Each structure stands twice: as structure tokens, then as C-alpha cells.
């Protein structure tokens, strides 16, 4: 690329990409107000300034979609996939936006450091409960003694349950109590794209040296969604070496995933590294925890919302914490507009968001359906007998529990007489293969599924 780099033109090109792919309201609210403060093609970082915390949150929500889109669009514009480092600047200056450099760094006077950590993701704003008690305790232990306990720490669970919040709370606590420590947060996708940029045709040694220093010369490395390393053999090797470099020097590694290490299709040596620490589960919150989350959010925003309404939302929203907070944001907007937050208004919100109060399928529902279908008892289904007449129904029930519920493998195993999660994995994999080869079994599964859902 030419050494003369026009940031203003770059910003316009990026906005055009966004505008072509986003809804007008979303574009005007979160994309159009952005200002590109600096672009460093050597380190692959762009400093992005936004005028409000709300706009910044929009970039970080929905699994950081806008940040991932920015990386893709910047690659199309510059040939370098740039990581967006966000900051809030209430008074954004437009002067001297266009600057040049021969070093590959293009910046304005507003260039600021960004730790990649969301300052709102703290332990103080985290709501503990029975669904996350072990994960909370382990995370606080790591934050108090990084590199000495639970290393690595892997937080796993379904999307939208707060894994990123808890992981970044560790980073924010460490930076607060040990400001001399270097904390680095990134998604596995960011790690992979930066690494890919380094090995692309024409990449020089200095880039890879900068990349490796960026990820290895840290005290705490926080990596989100490590399951995304599946199929990326060279990135797995690089992360393996990064992992070893950090832990060898006494550093701490914290990761999140949507599943246990054994379920991630990556190199065995990485799985071994992941398992040398501790893996802790975050599950969907129970009703008590959901009420606590909603009350906490109302208190943070200085809103008075009837307790009965909060309990109604907690009962009716059976999805993730992210979905729960999405409903609350709608309710909070009503309250801020001075409108009464009634049952009727909440039902309208739930309807607009396509959230229904349909019966949530439980493992017990599936076990009842399977025992009735195959004519076996519940004690046989969850027991240890290995006869074919029992094993098949048991495997079918485990398979359906995995497919039709949001329960984790350990939770399913517990419901089947305390069996190990690997047993559930084996059963699920076996039935998945048999369905493809056995039309009769497939018909049985389909009929059971229909019966359970209805």
C-alpha cells in the first residue's frame, strides 16, 4: 500500500460497506457516528471512537458482530484485517483527521490506548446464582491469584449466558488490583485472522514478531470462543506455542467455549493443555437468578419497576441472559418514557420479540416419552443394565435430551444415573450415525420428537 494513507477516505469506505449490509436504523445509531482516530497497518489495529456508551455497546453486542464485520470490511479496503479498538469520546474532533506516515501508523491527536476489556464487565455487576456458582468461584480465585490457581480456566456453556462477562471481570479485577500486569483480551477469531494475516503471501518476519509479542508477552491472556479453532490447524499450532510461552513464564490463561475440551475437534495436545486446569459450566439461570439479574439492572438504571412485573418476565423468558436483558431493555425504555409498565405492555413486548411462554422441554419429559415408547421402566433407563433392549432406549433418550434441550452434557449425564459426560457424547454420536443408516430408527426419532414437542 502507498505510504500516504487517507483515514477520511478509509472511514467513508468502511461506512459504505456497513450501509450496504445493515438496516438503516442500526446504521444511523451505531455506525454513522463512528470516527476513525488511527490506523496501524503494522499491528493491524484501528482506533475507533464512538460518541456514547450505547453506541459502543451496540458494537460489542450480538457476539461483537460489528467488530467482526469491521475486520472483514477493512481487509477488503486495505488488504489488512484490522481489529477495532473502541473508546467513547463525547466530543469528537474532526480536525487533522488525515495524516500520513512512512512507518505504517496513521493517527490523530486523539489516539488512545484500549485494553480490549469492557469496563462494564465486572464482578460487581455480575449476578451469581446456582447456575454459575462454580464458574463464579473459580473466576474470583483466578482474579485474586492469577497464574497460581486454575490455570488454564475454561468457562463453558451455551451462547448468551455471560461467559464473556465473567472472563472479562477477571481481567478488569486484575488490572484494578495489579495495574503493572499486562492483560490481553481477544476472540479466537481475532487471533486467527491476525495470524492468517501474518502468514499470508508477502508477510515479513517483523509482523509475526509483533504478533507473537502481542499475545505472548502478557501476564494474562483471555481468549473467547476457543471452539472456533476447529479446523484451523496452523492457528492451533500457534495457539499451542502461545499457551506454552505464557504458562511457562507463570502467566494465566482464561478461555471460553460452548462445550467441554473433549468435544472440541482440535489437536489432542491442545485438549490436554486445556484439561490441565479446570473447566467450569455456566447454565441457563433459574427463576431466582433471573429475578436478581432484572432487579440489578433496574437498580443500575435508577428505575422503579413493579416486583410482580419483574417476576412475570423471569417466569416467561426461558432463554439466555442475553434474551432476558433484551426484554428488560424494552421494558426500561417504557419506564424512561414515563409510561406504566403493566402486564399487558410486557406481553406486547414479548410478542414483538417473538418470545413465547410455551412449555420448555425437560429431560424428564423425554425420559417419560421414551420409557412409554419402548416399554421400559425409568429405573432401567437410568440404570446400569447393558442389555440391548435397555441400551438403545437409553441412547435414544440421551440423544433427544441433547437435541431438544439446552442442558449441558454433564447435566444430562447426571439425569441418567450420574453417568459421565463422555457416555452422553458416545450415545449422541452413535444415534446420529445410526439415523443415517436405519430408516426405522429415524422414523422412531421423528415420531418421538413430535410427541415430546406436542
C-alpha cell of 35? 470516527
The pLDDT value given to residue 354: 64
Alpha carbons within 13 A on the beta-carbon side of 212:
13
> In a 10 Å sphere around its CB, with 0-12 CB exposed, 13-18 middle and 19+ buried, how is residue 130 labelled?
exposed
The pLDDT value given to residue 44: 87
Helices 205-216 & 233-248, crossing angle to 10 degrees?
50
C-alpha cell of 151? 490455570
Alpha-carbon distance of 123 to 59, in angstroms, equals 22
The pLDDT value given to residue 250: 93
The pLDDT value given to residue 96: 31
The pLDDT value given to residue 110: 30
The pLDDT value given to residue 2: 41
The pLDDT value given to residue 113: 45
Residue keyed to cell 417466569: 315
Q: Enumerate domains of the chain plus CATH numbers.
A: 7-107 (3.30.300.180), 133-281 (3.40.50.300), 287-352 (1.10.8), 363-453 (1.10.1750.10)
CA distances, 321 to each of 137, 291, 297, 317 (Å): 19, 11, 12, 9
Alpha-carbon distance of 161 to 319, in angstroms, equals 9
The pLDDT value given to residue 381: 93
- For the chain, the maximum distance between any two Cα atoms, rounded to a whole number of angstroms, is 78
The pLDDT value given to residue 168: 94
CB 46 within 8 A of CB 68: no
The pLDDT value given to residue 200: 64
The pLDDT value given to residue 1: 39
User: Chunked in runs of 10, what are the mean pLDDT values of the chain (454 residues)?
Assistant: 68 84 71 88 89 79 83 87 86 35 35 63 88 91 90 91 93 91 90 78 67 90 92 90 94 94 91 92 87 88 85 82 85 83 81 63 90 93 90 94 85 89 88 90 92 83
Among candidates 375, 308, 298, which has minimal Cα distance to 334? 298
CB 156 within 8 A of CB 282: yes
- pTM equals 0.58
CB 55 within 8 A of CB 29: yes
Backbone phi and psi for residue 47, each to the nearest 5 degrees, phi listed first: -85, 120
CA distances, 354 to each of 317, 324, 326, 419 (Å): 11, 13, 12, 36
The pLDDT value given to residue 166: 95
CB 189 within 8 A of CB 225: yes
The pLDDT value given to residue 371: 94
The pLDDT value given to residue 279: 93
Amino acid at each position: 500500500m502507498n505510504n500516504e494513507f487517507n483515514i477520511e477516505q478509509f472511514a467513508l469506505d468502511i461506512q459504505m460497506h456497513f450501509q450496504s449490509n445493515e438496516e438503516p436504523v442500526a446504521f444511523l445509531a451505531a455506525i454513522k457516528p463512528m470516527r476513525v482516530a488511527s490506523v496501524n497497518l503494522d499491528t493491524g489495529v484501528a482506533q475507533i471512537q464512538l460518541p456514547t456508551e450505547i453506541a459502543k455497546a451496540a458494537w460489542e453486542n450480538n457476539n461483537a458482530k460489528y467488530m467482526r464485520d469491521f475486520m472483514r470490511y477493512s481487509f477488503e479496503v486495505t488488504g489488512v484485517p484490522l481489529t477495532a479498538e473502541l473508546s467513547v469520546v463525547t466530543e469528537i474532533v474532526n480536525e487533522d483527521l488525515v495524516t500520513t506516515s512512512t512507518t505504517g501508523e496513521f493517527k490523530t491527536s486523539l489516539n488512545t490506548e484500549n485494553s480490549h476489556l469492557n469496563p462494564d464487565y465486572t464482578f460487581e455487576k455480575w449476578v451469581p446464582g446456582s447456575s454459575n456458582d462454580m464458574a463464579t468461584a473459580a473466576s474470583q480465585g483466578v482474579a485474586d491469584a492469577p497464574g497460581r490457581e486454575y490455570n488454564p480456566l475454561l468457562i463453558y456453556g451455551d451462547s448468551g449466558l455471560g461467559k464473556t462477562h465473567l472472563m472479562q471481570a477477571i481481567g478488569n479485577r486484575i488490572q484494578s488490583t495489579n495495574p503493572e500486569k499486562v492483560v490481553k483480551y481477544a476472540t479466537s477469531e481475532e487471533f486467527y485472522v491476525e495470524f492468517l494475516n501474518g502468514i499470508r503471501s508477502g508477510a515479513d518476519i517483523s509482523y509475526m514478531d509483533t504478533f507473537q509479542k502481542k499475545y505472548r508477552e502478557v501476564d494474562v491472556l483471555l481468549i473467547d470462543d476457543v471452539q472456533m479453532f476447529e479446523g484451523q490447524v496452523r492457528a492451533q499450532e500457534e495457539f499451542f506455542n502461545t499457551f506454552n510461552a505464557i504458562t511457562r513464564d507463570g502467566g494465566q490463561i482464561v478461555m471460553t467455549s460452548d462445550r467441554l475440551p473433549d468435544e472440541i475437534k482440535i489437536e489432542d495436545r491442545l485438549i490436554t493443555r486445556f484439561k490441565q486446569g479446570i473447566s467450569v459450566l455456566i447454565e441457563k439461570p433459574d427463576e431466582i437468578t433471573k429475578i436478581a439479574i432484572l432487579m440489578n439492572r433496574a437498580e443500575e438504571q435508577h428505575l422503579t419497576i413493579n416486583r410482580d412485573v419483574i417476576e412475570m418476565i423471569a417466569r416467561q423468558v426461558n432463554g439466555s441472559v442475553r434474551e432476558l436483558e433484551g426484554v428488560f431493555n424494552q421494558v426500561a425504555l417504557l419506564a424512561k418514557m414515563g409510561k406504566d409498565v403493566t402486564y399487558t405492555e410486557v406481553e406486547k413486548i414479548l410478542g414483538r420479540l417473538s418470545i413465547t411462554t410455551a412449555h420448555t422441554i425437560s429431560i424428564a419429559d423425554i425420559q417419560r416419552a421414551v420409557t412409554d415408547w419402548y416399554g421400559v421402566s425409568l429405573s432401567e433407563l437410568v440404570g446400569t443394565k447393558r442389555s440391548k433392549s435397555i441400551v438403545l432406549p437409553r441412547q435414544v433418550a440421551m440423544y433427544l435430551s441433547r437435541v431438544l434441550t439446552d442442558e449441558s452434557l454433564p447435566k444430562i449425564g447426571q439425569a441418567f444415573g450420574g453417568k459421565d459426560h463422555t457416555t452422553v457424547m458416545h450415545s449422541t454420536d452413535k444415534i446420529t450415525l445410526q439415523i443415517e443408516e436405519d430408516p426405522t430408527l429415524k422414523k422412531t426419532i421423528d415420531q418421538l420428537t413430535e410427541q415430546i414437542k406436542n
